[in-house]
Every structure is written in structure tokens, then in C-alpha cells.
Amino acid sequence: MRNLIVRFAKEEEGATAIEYGLIASLIAVAIVSVLLTLGPQLRSVFQTVQDNLKTS
């Protein structure tokens, strides 16, 4: 039984998966925040391009 507990304590695959999950979620939060910040500016740029294409 003690051997089983020692092996469980040394196992790191679960911790690595959690770390990768945290990194992925932080990246997702960063992407969402950048898109929310730049969204209105990008919308105006694309609207300007669309308007210029219509007049051409």
C-alpha cells in the first residue's frame, strides 16, 4: 500500500495536463480581451473599405 502511495505522489502527468489547460485558458482570455478591445476599430476600418469599394 505504501508503494502505491509513493508512486501516486511521484506521478506528474495529471499536473502537466492541468498546467497545459491553464495555459490554454489564459491564451483564450488574452485573445478575447484583445478582440473586444480592437473590435470596434476593426469594424470601422472594414466599413471604410466597404464604403470605398461601393463608390469605386
pLDDT in tens, the chain (56 residues): 778 777 766 766 667 788 899 999 999 999 999 999 999 999 999 999 999 999 86
- Predicted pLDDT of residue 13: 66
- Predicted pLDDT of residue 9: 67
The Cα 25–Cα 32 span in angstroms is: 11
- Predicted pLDDT of residue 18: 84
The Cα 39–Cα 7 span in angstroms is: 50
